[in-house]
Amino acid sequence: MGASQEKVINRWLVVVGAILIQLCLGAIYAWSVFTPYLSGTLSDPVNKFDFTKTQTQIIFSVGLAAFAFVMVFAGKWQAKSGPRIVAISGGILLGLGYILAGLFGKSFISQVIFIGLIGGAGIGLGYVCPIATGMKWFPDKKGLITGLAVAGFGFGALIWMKIADNWGHLLETIGVLRVFLIYGIIFGVTVLIGSIWMVNPPQGWKPAGWNPPTPKKGKSTSGDSSALRPSQMLKSPQFYGLWIMFVFSGMAGLMTIGIIKLFGIEALQNRGGLPAEQASAIAGTAMAIFYSIANGLGRIIWGTLSDKIGRKLSLFLMCALQGVMMLIFYMMGANQYLLYLGATIIGFNFGGNFALFPTATADFFGTANVGMNYPWVFTAYGIGGIIGPIMAGSIRDVVGGWLPAFIISGIACLIAAVIGLTLRPSKR
């Protein structure tokens, strides 16, 4: 598309495309709705599955890791070739992974490959494009627009969870594999539509009436002239501070996403005294409505708040609150309304990661190269996605309970909050 055509694009169409893409990519957060069927806790109407708790979390973790590490390649590719082709490729790969899982996904290994590796790689290709493109079209509203762009990820989880569960009852009527097949077709088509608007603004473009802030002496800002390249960023202590914070904060949220339905069912049955069917319904509500809606809102609200109070303070508050919630969530899980409350707050804080860390990356290292820089920061998400869910599943299989996993995650988030207080913009 030529520069003359690019100039007439309504920049809010980029937001529409970003949300369409992210709604599909967020399907990975719906994984917990499948785990009771895969572990045999609930009966699949077509196929019998007997995965261990750890195996269900390995599939999830492989998807998260593929998502995070493929983003590094995607960031370089979209910087060279533009975001549209990368987003299209992500949609094709995501759809293909779920379609193949629907056709050939009866075994644990096949689901690791199709859902985890292929589907996760598709998410990694698609995810960076809306964020980097949105920041370039909205340099005046980076926090808000990043929050909106990634809010679809959290809301998408709600949609796919509820359609598979108690809105569409797909899992109990057609089974896990046929749901994978249907979802794969929908994901591929929808991401391709959203990719239409994934184009960068012309060189030197800026919103009417907006002027870039004047860089402070000796500091790297979001201005293009002071943007660091990945090789420079990776030498800075600020990168490693952000990265460790993201590992710890991401680990807590991803662990909770992966286990919340299994944890909720067990807590409500064993400690709350509820029958299995009622416990499953309540846990599903906590997982879908409270966690996913709060997750989406957290991306918007934390992003908007950070534009007003600053990224550093926002990161500190988010991590500190999450640490406290993780330490007390196990006890809250046995009560229906406390489970809802805890899931809401944890989901809200977890969503904030995806508005605050990309905008902090842009603030500290420059907006011009955020499409290449943020994927390196985002590898922390992949590490957290490996540690958190597998740790929780393994502890449950070996110890027989979830409490140690919540304590470990809570302490990690509090450490992240302390690290956040030390962050400073990188020097030239």
pTM of the predicted structure, to 2 decimals: 0.82
Residues 19, 152: contact at Cβ < 8 Å? yes
> Is 3 a member of any domain?
no
Q: How many domains does the chain have?
A: 1
4 occurs within a structural domain: no
The answer to whether residue 30 sits within a structural domain is yes
Largest Cα–Cα distance in the chain?
Answer: 66
Per the domain annotation, does 211 fall within a domain?
no
Q: Which amino acid is at 303?
A: G
To which residue do tokens 């869910």 refer? 389
DSSP 257-320: HHHHHHHHHHIIIIIT---HHHHHHHHHHIIIIIIIHHHHHHHHHHHHHHHHH-HHHHHHHHHH
Distance, in Å, from the CA atom of 243 to the CA atom of 249, rounded to the nearest integer, reads 10
The verdict on residue 137 lying in a domain is: yes
Q: Which domain holds residue 44?
A: 9-202+221-421
Question: Both tokens of residue 173?
Answer: 């009527």
What are the angstrom distances between the C-alpha of 150 and each of 133, 134, 210, 285? 12, 10, 24, 22
Amino acid at 162: K
Give the residue among 160, 20, 39, 9 at the shortest CA–CA distance from 98: 160
User: How many of the other CB atoms lie within 10 Å of CB of 308?
Assistant: 9
Confirm if 354 and 155 have CB atoms less than 8 A apart.
no
Distance CA 354, CA 371 (A): 14
Digits of tens for pLDDT over the chain (428 positions)? 444 444 558 899 999 999 999 999 999 988 988 998 999 988 999 999 999 989 999 999 999 999 999 999 999 999 899 999 999 999 999 999 999 999 999 999 999 999 999 999 999 999 989 988 998 899 888 788 888 877 888 788 889 988 998 899 999 999 999 999 999 999 999 999 999 999 999 888 888 888 876 655 544 444 455 688 899 999 999 999 999 999 999 999 999 988 998 899 999 999 999 998 899 889 988 888 777 789 889 988 999 999 899 999 999 999 999 999 999 999 999 999 999 999 999 999 999 999 899 999 988 898 888 889 999 999 999 999 999 999 999 999 998 899 999 999 999 999 999 999 998 776 65
Closest by alpha carbon to 243, among 358, 352, 379, 369?
A: 379
Q: Which two tokens stand for residue 294?
A: 């709060």
Does 215 fall in a domain?
Answer: no
Name residue 219's beta-bridge partners: 427
Residue 214 belongs to some domain of the structure = no
What pLDDT is recorded for position 9? 83
Indicate the residue type of 18.
A
- For residue 162, what are the CA distances in angstroms to 31, 53, 257, 285? 12, 22, 15, 9
Assigned domain for 23 exists? yes
418: number of Cβ within 10 Å: 13
Q: Which residues contact 158 (CB under 8 A, 6 or more apart)?
A: 288, 289, 292, 293, 296
Q: What is the pLDDT of residue 277?
A: 87
Q: What is the CATH number of the domain that holds 416?
A: 1.20.1250.20
DSSP SS3 for 402 = coil
pLDDT for res 174: 97
pLDDT of 8: 54
